[in-house]
Amino acid sequence: MEYTFTSENFEEEVLKSDVPVLVDMFATWCGPCKMMAPIVAQLAEEYKGSVKVGKLDIDQNVDIVAQYKIMSVPTFLVIKDGEVVKKLIGAVSKEELVEAIGQAK
């Protein structure tokens, strides 16, 4: 199951998480974001219990977008122990996301 990250829960769910987190920074109007959605959903299932996988709507959480200097979507952040381990911009392959997650484990 994918998490829904917001400004309200970001610190608790992402920054204080005891497992690595993949954050999909997306927008509802973004074509490449829609294209990536099934891959993100697959990763959420495959990593259930070992990695949190979730989405953050950039239009509803502008403070987080500003904090991480997100300029385009989709942007994927892999965060471990409150720090960004990897940042991927644009539609990327599932393999690239798996590799990025692997760097945080």
Q: Looking at 13, 17, 30, 87, which residue is catalytic?
A: 30
- Whether 33 is catalytic is yes
Does residue 53 contact residue 3 with C-beta atoms inside 8 Å?
A: yes
- Whether 87 is catalytic is no
* Element spanning 35, H or E: helix 31-46
Question: What's the farthest any 2 CA atoms get from each other in the chain?
Answer: 32
Does residue 84 contact residue 77 with C-beta atoms inside 8 Å?
A: yes
Q: Looking at 33, 51, 56, 88, which residue is catalytic?
A: 33
Instruction: Name the nearest CA neighbour of 16 among 30, 5, 1, 32.
Output: 5
Active site residues: 30, 33
